[in-house]
Amino acid sequence: MDDASFIRYLSAKKTVDDRALNRRVWDAMTARVGSLFPRVLELGGGIGTMVERAAADPVLRPRSWTLVDGQVAFVQEARRRLAGLRKFPVEFLCADVEDFIAGGIEPFDLVIANAFLDLFYPARILPKLLKLARSSGSFLFSITFDGLTALEPEVDRELDRRIVDLYHRSMDERIAAGKVSGDSRCGRHLLTLLPQTGAPDDVYLAMAREFDPAEQVALTLAIVAINGWNRLAVGFRRPVGSYVSSRHPEPATMP
């Protein structure tokens, strides 16, 4: 896809991302840092749609916003789209994210990476990202892909499976700067990094406000079950949805 087409795609999907963003997480983030006039760093800022979203939020009041993206055309488009923004200053940087991280920078109050983490292998990139915020800083890693793709309506089950497999493989085999740099199951793999990242008290308290103790247990067991079945599916080369019980086979046709 050429730059002009990709820019049109990013612009068109802004409203889709608006609906996909977890509003409770967004509100928790703005409640935590909104009134503190935070210095914000956005990685993979693309054409500036997250800046537009932040500028429209009455609670979030950044002192400054640094947008970093590796594509020159995207940064140029972001400058054009945000030329009239007056709510807070925006610095535009065209740089490889890993080079930017390695450059040695003053930690930020808030680090945002939207639809971004799945472009990297999480175990390699996450420890580096955690150094970008102050010890009391916050992160928003929103809309992380997790290997679930469905084509509706179903036309040809085998063809659909092949298309989805190729799409996921294009992420898993993505090469950036000579290194494998992508993960089609990034969302679930982030959970395995909890020993490194921990579960801060404020994250636990935010969860506890939404779920009572019984719901917390049920949610935790659901996550354990999903993670376990995913590992079995990968380990035994059984794509999700491919298993049919010999005792209770699916009907030949759906009603």
CATH number for the 3-144 domain, one of 3.40.50.150, 3.90.1150.10, 3.40.50.720, 3.40.50.12280? 3.40.50.150
- Reported residue count of the chain is 255
The residues spanned by each domain of the chain are 3-144, 199-238
The whole-angstrom separation of Cα 77 and Cα 71 is: 10
Mean pLDDT by 10 residues, the chain (255 residues): 89 90 90 90 96 94 95 96 94 92 89 89 83 90 79 81 85 77 76 66 78 86 80 73 59 46
Q: How confident is the model at residue 138, as a pLDDT?
A: 92
Q: Three-class SS of residue 138?
A: strand
Q: How confident is the model at residue 187, as a pLDDT?
A: 73
Alpha carbon 205 to chain centroid, angstroms: 22
Q: How confident is the model at residue 254, as a pLDDT?
A: 43
Q: Which amino acid is at 239?
A: P
